[in-house]
Amino acid sequence: MTNQIELAIQDDYPDDFAHCYGCGRLNQDGYQFRTGWDGGKTLTMYTPKPEHTAIPGFVYGGLIASLIDCHGTGSASLALHRKNGHEPGDGAEPPRFVTASLQVDFMKPTPQDVTLRAVGVPEEIHPKKFQVHTEVYAGDTVCAKAVVTAAVMPASFTSKK
Amino acid sequence: MTNQIELAIQDDYPDDFAHCYGCGRLNQDGYQFRTGWDGGKTLTMYTPKPEHTAIPGFVYGGLIASLIDCHGTGSASLALHRKNGHEPGDGAEPPRFVTASLQVDFMKPTPQDVTLRAVGVPEEIHPKKFQVHTEVYAGDTVCAKAVVTAAVMPASFTSKK
């Protein structure tokens, strides 16, 4: 089982797009999620902090939704980057995605003190849109199942800057 | 327009259930969302902090999903509490809910430096289950639409304690 993501897509985002609270490597207050390939699937790992609780002993659903959100956009970026002939770390700038929709089914209470593994299968549904089917594991248990629809970041997102 | 929630359902949760990262009044590191009635709808307000960014100028989707999550369980609690003849602040302990599923459609980029308003309509779909239809406003703009299915907290959530 992979316990470390060596080449994450977020490592290659340009600095301007590296401030996301979920997955921005330059956001010191955020989660700094990192997403890479693990075989033919995508993987994001995170160990929730003690404060990320729903009730004592169980992880807060909003943290799980956040993990799924950034895992979704990161996975879509990995998939389109690969389609374009690139892999993380090869020096090419990856495409950035935004979340169009997020569907999460919470299957089981998620125990704390466990590293969560979001495992995804990205599927192209349009040249600029991917669906990422994700399962979040705590150990061998699937605690959440999700579908993220991610779209290539529109120009309106960057025009404000 | 209501700018303050005087009687929030979370104020009445027992201390053991007041540690949620989203809506626990005793979680000093969390968002401390508060949800109350505003006419016949439910309302949760939150002003994202500067670090809660997706890219500079826009709010992180995971924060919006978190707001919707706790707004959903809080709204379901308000609705069942009212059905049982109670209102926040009357001294009765409200029912606690967990999120069974979360569906969020992100309609528009959500600007930062604005107080977000999650406005909900809870609908009973089973004696122990509510669907909460929610719109998240930034000013007059609906930035996200969501449906949360919330279920009365099962015994398995408390048996671990």
Residue A159, pLDDT score: 53
How far apart, in whole angstroms, are the C-alpha atoms of residue B149 and residue B138? 23
Shortest Cα–Cα distance, B16 to chain A (Å): 7
Does the pLDDT at position A160 exceed 90?
Answer: no
User: Interface pTM (ipTM) of the complex?
Assistant: 0.95
| Widest Cα–Cα separation across chain B | 46
Determine what percent of chain A falls in helix, strand and coil, rounding each to the nearest 5.
Answer: 20, 35, 45
Query: What is the phi/psi pair of residue B28, to 5°?
Result: -70, -20
pLDDT in tens, B27-66: 999 999 999 999 999 999 999 999 999 998 999 999 999 9
Task: Say whether residue B63 is in contact with chain A using an 8 A CB cutoff.
Answer: yes
Does the pLDDT at position A80 exceed 70?
Answer: yes
**CB within 8 Å: B161 and A57:** yes
Does the pLDDT at position B112 exceed 50?
Answer: yes
Helices (H), B45-134: 61-83
| Widest Cα–Cα separation across chain A | 46
Q: Which domains does chain A have, with CATH numbers?
A: 9-158 (3.10.129.10)
Q: Which residues of B touch A98 (CB under 8 A)?
A: 54, 61, 106, 109
Residue B66, pLDDT score: 98
**CB within 8 Å: A105 and B109:** no
Residue A158 tokens read as 């960057």
**CB within 8 Å: A160 and B58:** yes
Does the pLDDT at position A77 exceed 90?
Answer: yes
> What is the arithmetic mean of pLDDT over A104-123?
97
Task: Say whether residue A19 is in contact with chain B using an 8 A CB cutoff.
Answer: yes
Q: How confident is the model at residue B1 (pLDDT cuts 50, 70, 90)?
A: confident
**CB within 8 Å: A53 and B20:** yes
How far apart, in whole angstroms, are the C-alpha atoms of residue A111 and residue A113? 7
Q: Please report how many Cα atoms fall inside a 13 Å half-sphere around the Cα of residue A128, on the Cβ side.
A: 8
Residue B2, pLDDT score: 80
Q: For chain B, report the end-to-end CA distance as a whole number of angstroms.
A: 41
Q: Cβ contacts of residue B133 below 8 Å, gap of 6+?
A: B120, B121, B123, B145, B146, B147
Task: Say whether residue A94 is in contact with chain B using an 8 A CB cutoff.
Answer: no
Q: List, in sequence order, every beta strand (DSSP E) within chain B.
A: 35-38, 41-46, 97-106, 116-126, 129-138, 141-152
Between β-strands A129-138 and B41-46, what pairing exists: parallel, antiparallel or unpaired? unpaired
State the Cα torsion B78-B79-B82-B87 to the nearest 10°. 10
Determine the residue type at A158.
T
Does the pLDDT at position B132 exceed 90?
Answer: yes
Residue B157, pLDDT score: 67
Q: How confident is the model at residue A161 (pLDDT cuts 50, 70, 90)?
A: very low
Give per-residue burial for A32-68: e unless 16+ CB within 10 Å, then b.
bbbbbbbeeebbbbbebeeebbbbebbbbbbbbbbbb
Task: Say whether residue A109 is in contact with chain B using an 8 A CB cutoff.
Answer: yes
